[in-house]
Chain A
């Protein structure tokens, strides 16, 4: 709730905010109040939506009521290999253009495929520059129709190989590599730093190319896993914290990647939140008036700033300090602030 998280199913089934009916909240004044209800809407402002992703800044959520869905009757998982990431990105757009919203649609780049395969032996195509894992769910008839359409679409977009999982065990194996991608990367690098930007999907090829250039400039490697359906990119920056300067270089690279996400029309965090770590990048994404509006919302709930102080929303002074270092395209961020 605090980060409005969403996993592999969220393109079809929504984020946390789409699946929570109500929350019980303790306010900073010590009152207990309920936001939302088991009905499909409630009178007044949508405080329930506002609580989602608010990182504990507005109140203490002590109880959550979620909507449940019946398990899908049928599931099919297929995996397609591509010789380049761009073709994989186009295939994702093609599936959606065909009117299909898969239950899951994930992409991994070559480095992520290799790391996952070495770790769990999922049967991934380690020659591929990218693989797409696509899960279709629904009634048997619906899934059969969609499988045919997706296979045709992947082929038309140049998939070099397509495998369809034969049974539950194989479906689990296809997913195992993706789900183990983070620990798999942990095996090949002393440390890794996981980023969480979201981008318009059409920018994928450009963003991955820029990430690779930015990484090379820092002499670091980056491995990419991508919630392809919804544009949420998780670049994993590999570094060794025991080597002097590498942690700082990884942090700088992470910040550059997030600023790249904003530049192409995306956001600095899809689901992992801002906390204190991404707070400087908030200054890149939002203007002064917007940041002031966020502070006013915070003050409406917690005038003294007692809940999670310093998180989620930067002070304008912090933005000025950060901005002094990062003049973007010659534009000074928050120019109205006095520079010291």
Chain B
């Protein structure tokens, strides 16, 4: 069995070979037991794959879905509320791509700073920040809750207003948010590995704040009159 024939097996089974190629292939398979076995094996696999049964999830997922779709209704009402707050009067001094680029650059730079700091070890001497003691005070966790609540609320408002935005802008927003989310997850993983590290904690808080700020700006854009 040569690579030449092996590579043709799938095309043959899927009916993708030209008539002349097909005849050549079939003539080879008639004489090559190895290729004939491979054809039969792949035929069996494709046939079984097509008939694989569906399987219901073990847990009932509907309650979670229902909660989420009901919250979408709340978000739809939240957009006019944002407008009433006078957000539409604000003029932006940056375009969205500029804002996204700046935000991402800050996330990357601060991530790099944390990486550098981690390589240097814990703070010492004159440059040690007393507010960042090894045992992180409980108050440091407070911004997490605020940020999470803000992110959820802003995410709902943005979801409700996304249809007013250009699809390319929405895609750009989603890609930027994705990168910020990845940075947040990485920071959380780093914090899990080293829970008392003040640099990682500060980086996580900072990245979450940047996400909130980014969402706020994007929400204002979505709420702006067309």
Q: Do A and B come from one complex?
A: no
